[in-house]
Amino acid sequence: MAVTSALPDKFLLWAEEQGMIKATYTATFCEMCFWKCGTMAKVLNGRVVKLEGNTAHPGARGKLCARGNAGAGLLYDPNRLKTPLISTGARGEGKYRKASWDEALSVVADKLNKIKQQYGPESVALFTHGTPTDHFLPLLSAYGSPNVGMPSFAQCRGPRDVGLELTFGEGIGSPERVDMVNSKVVVLFGSHLGENMHNSQVQDFAEAVGKGVKFVVIDPRYSIAAGKAHIWMPIKPSTDIALMLAWINIIISEGMYDKQYISSYANGFTELADAVKSYTPEWAARETDLPVQQIVETARLLGKNAPAVCVHPGRHVTWYGDDVQRTRCIGILMALLGTWGREGGAFFATKASFPKMAAKPFPEPGKAPLNLGGFPFAGGEGVTQAIRTATISGAPYPIKGWFVSGTNLMKSLPNQKETIEAIKKLDLLVAVDVMPFDTVMMADVILPECTYLERHDALAVGKGKSLTVSLRQPVVEPMYESKPGWWIAKELSKRLGAEEYFPWNTYEDKIKNQCSQWNVDYEQLKKVGTITIPNTATPFITVTNQPEFKTASGKIELYSKELKEKGFDPVPRYTNHQQPAPGEFRLVYGRSAVHTFSRSTNNAELSELFPENEVWVNSRKAKEMGIENNAYVVLVNQDGVKSNRIKVKATERIREDCVYMVHGYGTTSKELKNAYGKGADDQGLITRYAVDPICGGTGMRVNFVRFAKEGSNA
């Protein structure tokens, strides 16, 4: 019986049941978020009907989260970008005409070549996230610009990585190398695991909960994790450092630190002990609004259970602008408890690696990069808002072109006014993406990338306990006129005279070559999706596996000379942050387990489960203000910026001085038919941000909002 690809899933499943057609399975890895879980795609008659976790992949372990399960919803989203588009109106007006690939690529290349002639290649910046980076960062480098900015640094993990690098000489990695399953106590600072869904990490979290591991959750909101916790500490937002300094003080003064570990591996203990003496539990209790007894008891709980204690360094940590120092506190606690490199604490990545591939060196940029923004410890991912600032000011040199791939800047950067102002200064804004997100719909030229289920991407090398390599390969052919990122980059390189940096015909050729040089059986990889190189794990400190600390001193730096030399506190110090006035609430934001920022809100299966965000407010406060549960309100921030309407969740689950909402809603893109008009945009209310002077992270929990009636002009 002939079946055509237009048949709906339900018929195909029935036909399969009747034995009329047979399903095939293709291994690839997911990009519904950025954990890169191995997935097996079930295809019936050319249609992806089901996605399942790959048992061979360490990030998936045979399971997928809600988003991973809903991947076909992205593939078959009717609102996908289908053809290249060229703007016919003003920027942001959303008027476009369809264009051929040749025309669209030529327009982009012409503009890029013009910018290069007039201003130099450094005047083009790339903003990127996820696997598109593997294609467009080489393109940017080949073009001659060093100016890349990834929101994953200054708007997310940057301060954490810098804080740990300053302390231990390396970060915690992604996936985070935390050994929660073997911990006796796990401490989570605002980290709402479960709602913040990273597959294998949440599997470990649930496993630890199931095993009866004690969780200490510090969060102004009663999160899912708090609901699973032994101790929930509803801390006053912005005072986490006070709690940790008191803990450090108690652990030292009561002699609960790991003396052997500290004397073998750490520097600066005396300076640390002196610096924290004044941070008493009583003082911390006043600052944090937590009971003294609880502060003392939790410190002892950590001390008693060391070293099987995991003080989780979190992931999105750009909160108050002193975020490197907060992570330093976490690092110091880990060191004092001797948990870095110990079972139940943090483990070491495998030392095994694949050989580096030989490649033609990229041209040296003529001008110094401006994407580090003058921050002494800015990372290689760049400081997004430094590029934005330079775009607005034209100093130290003008930025005239933005290339944006896989990131929605309007939703990821604080203070949208600045983003819009910068975009106005550009000669060229190009967006490569799968969906018509807010920022995409501001671009001069839109290049439709196909989804992760339709393309090859770079091999994903995992360095957890073991070394792994995973393949992304097309499960089905690209729909519409969408194209893989690698193809777009290569085609542009031809038009920019940089094709020599893309010396292969297809990306599969490149991957095959890489596999042969890495001694990985490509045909086997195609079949199984992930190959683990056996016997490469050395996770914990033993007599023969001694840790290496790539810090300035070669030891754990409890006292950081590097920070001191650059004019920062060598030992973290507590600073007071401004608190909301009466009637105001601090705006705290977070995540839903079924969404990835603003990227999944249009997905049919996911928006069905979580169609709009809600503003959580303490029920007593709501009553005081006369606001009903489930009513719609608008929020007005300290600068008078109003949100879209948002539903009220009056709940006991949050402190009285803050409100909470899930990030990523309130899209301005009318092309996202499912998501448009739903929920409020937290980023729109984040007009103020506190920049971390150490690394450039933008603290975004420094905005205060008031409630106003829907439709009011408050």
Q: Which residues bind other proteins (CB under 8 A)?
A: 9-10, 13, 17, 49-53, 62-70, 72, 193-195, 197, 199, 202-203, 205-207, 209-210, 215, 222, 224-232, 234, 593-594, 604-606, 608-609, 618-620, 651-655
Nearer to other proteins, 62 or 677 (CB): 62
CA distances from 66 to 62, 198, 226, 530 (A): 13, 11, 21, 21
Q: Which is nearer to other proteins, 32 or 691 (CB)?
A: 32
Q: Which lies closer to other proteins via its Cβ, residue 607 or residue 667?
A: 607
Cβ-based nearer residue to other proteins, 500 or 652: 652
Q: Which is nearer to other proteins, 209 or 515 (CB)?
A: 209
Strand order in the sheet with 467-470: 460-463, 467-470, 530-533
Instruction: For the CB of residue 228, give the shortest distance to other proteins in the complex, in Å.
Output: 5
CB of 678 to other proteins, least distance (A): 16
Q: Least Å distance between CB 175 and other proteins? A: 14
* Among the listed residues 326, 316, 367, 294, the one whose alpha carbon sits nearest the alpha carbon of residue 591: 316
The one-letter code for the residue type at 522 is Y
Tokens of 571: 């030992």
Our CB check for other proteins shows the closer of 204 and 323 to be: 204
Nearer to other proteins, 293 or 578 (CB): 293
Burial of 280 (0-12, 13-18, 19+ CB in 10 A): middle
- Tell me whether residue 658 is exposed, middle or buried, using C-beta atoms within 10 angstroms of its C-beta: 0 to 12, 13 to 18, 19 or more: buried
SS3 15: helix
Q: Is 508 exposed, middle or buried (0-12, 13-18, 19+ CB in 10 A)?
A: middle
Q: Which helix (H) or strand (E) holds 651?
A: strand 646-651
Query: What does the alpha-carbon distance between residue 294 and residue 225 come to, in Å, rounded to a whole number?
Result: 18
Of residues 158, 162, 141, the one with CA closest to residue 369: 141
> Which residue, 73 or 321, has its beta carbon nearer to other proteins?
73
Taking the complex as a whole, the smallest distance from the CB of residue 236 to other proteins amounts, in Å, to 12
- Rounded to a whole number of angstroms, the minimum distance from the CB of residue 206 to other proteins is 3
Rounded to 5 degrees, what are φ and ψ at 583? 90, -15
Which is nearest to 308 in space by CA: 187, 172, 171, 165? 187
Minimal distance, residue 602 CB to other proteins, in Å? 14
CB of 26 to other proteins, least distance (A): 16
- Compare residues 205 and 487 and give the one whose CB is closer to other proteins: 205
| Residue 6 CA, distance from chain mean position | 37
Looking at the Cβ atoms of 60 and 489, the one nearer to other proteins is: 60
CB nearer to other proteins: give 231 or 627. Answer: 231
Shortest separation between residue 497's beta carbon and other proteins, angstroms: 46
Q: Give me the least distance between CB of 570 and other proteins, in Å please.
A: 36
Residue 194 CB, shortest distance to other proteins, in Å, is 4
Given a contact cutoff of 8 angstroms between Cβ atoms, the answer to whether 558 and 332 are in contact is yes
The closest alpha carbon to 404, from 431, 435, 434, belongs to 431
Whole-number minimum distance, CB 54 to other proteins, in Å? 12
- The amino acid present at 301, given as its one-letter code, is L
Cβ atoms of 702 and 323 within 8 Å: the answer is: no
Q: Answer for the pair 75, 37: CB distance below 8 angstroms, yes or no.
A: no
CB count within 10 Å of CB 89 equals 10
